[in-house]
């Protein structure tokens, strides 16, 4: 999988892709992330990529020309299954979205800034719009990194134990159950006996019940009716 990220602040994305699972995925040749400076497609001496809003109002708007020029330059090199735009008014990104995107091929992610991008780009070039929460960030870079991480870790071969991703929170609309490791006794706080029993069926039932109870308590909205 290849992810191309379009941004006016590429330096914000240097850290997230240089370490941990994302770096491992790139080293294995399972995923690659390329960051593109939008200003390379900007006009004039100052490589302008934004302008005032039609109709007035505070805040600048990212222009059509540089965004579309960058998108189309990338599309001339390869076929993309998705063009994503990070925006506060997009669909709330969830695990099911990550699963679906991980099954796709290459994708482009556009990081918004200022008051956003010209609506015509959203109407005619964007295929998916996502938000990572009900709050506003300075730009879409952190959201792009979050989505890239959520998707890449699901690719076969990225995690050392691929079943780990299948038991993550939200995979089955439940939060993950509690987890424990050694020692069995820490200052008198004990690991639940069932986890020490070796009874796989009993452990699975315990984890299922714990996942349900945790979800019921912390995120009842995931259980629906």
Average pLDDT over residues 111-128: 96
Looking at the chain, which runs of residues are DSSP E strands?
A: 2-7, 32-37, 50-52, 60-62, 82-92, 107-111, 128-131, 185-186, 189-190
Q: Are 159 and 120 spatial neighbours (Cβ–Cβ below 8 Å)? A: no
Q: How confident is the model at residue 172 (pLDDT cuts 50, 70, 90)?
A: confident
Domains in the chain with CATH codes: 2-152 (3.40.1280.10), 168-223 (1.10.1270.20)
Q: For 52-81, how does the pLDDT look when each residue is reduced to its tens digit (9 = 90+)?
A: 999 999 999 999 999 999 999 999 999 999
Name residues whose C-beta falls within 8 Å of residue 64's C-beta, 6 or more positions apart in sequence. 118, 120, 121
Give dist(CA 223, CA 176) in Å, integer. Answer: 14
Q: For 8-43, how does the pLDDT look when each residue is reduced to its tens digit (9 = 90+)?
A: 999 999 888 888 788 889 999 999 999 999 999 998
Closest C-alpha among 204, 205, 179, 201 to residue 192: 179
Give dist(CA 168, CA 221) in Å, integer. Answer: 18
Q: Are 184 and 221 spatial neighbours (Cβ–Cβ below 8 Å)? A: no
3: DSSP letter: E
Centre a 10 Å sphere on the Cβ of residue 143 and count the other Cβ atoms it contains. 24
> Which of the pair, 15 or 117, is modelled with greater confidence?
117
| Reported pTM | 0.88
Closest C-alpha among 29, 50, 27 to residue 38: 50
Q: How confident is the model at residue 64, as a pLDDT?
A: 97
């Amino acid at each position: 999988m290849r992810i191309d990220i379009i941004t006016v602040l590429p330096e914000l994305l240097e850290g997230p892709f240089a370490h941990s699972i994302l770096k491992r995925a790139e080293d294995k040749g399972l995923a690659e992330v390329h960051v593109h400076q939008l200003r390379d497609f900007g006009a004039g001496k100052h490589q302008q990529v934004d302008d005032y809003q039609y109709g007035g109002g505070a805040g600048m708007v990212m222009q059509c020309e540089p965004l579309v020029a960058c998108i189309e330059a990338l599309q001339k090199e390869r076929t993309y299954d998705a063009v994503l735009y990070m925006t506060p008014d997009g669909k709330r990104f969830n695990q099911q979205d990550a699963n679906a995107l991980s099954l796709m091929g290459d994708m482009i992610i556009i990081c918004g800034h200022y008051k956003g991008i010209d609506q015509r780009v959203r109407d005619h070039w964007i295929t998916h719009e996502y938000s990572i929460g009900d709050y506003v960030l300075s730009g879409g870079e952190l959201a792009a990194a979050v989505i890239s991480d959520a998707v890449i870790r699901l690719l076969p071969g990225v995690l050392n134990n691929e079943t780990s991703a299948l038991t993550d929170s939200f995979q089955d609309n439940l939060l993950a159950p509690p987890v424990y490791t050694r020692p069995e006794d820490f200052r008198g706080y004990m690991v639940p006996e069932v986890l020490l029993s070796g009874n796989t069926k009993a452990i699975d039932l315990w984890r299922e019940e714990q996942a349900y109870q945790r979800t019921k308590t912390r995120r009842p909205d995931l259980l629906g009716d």
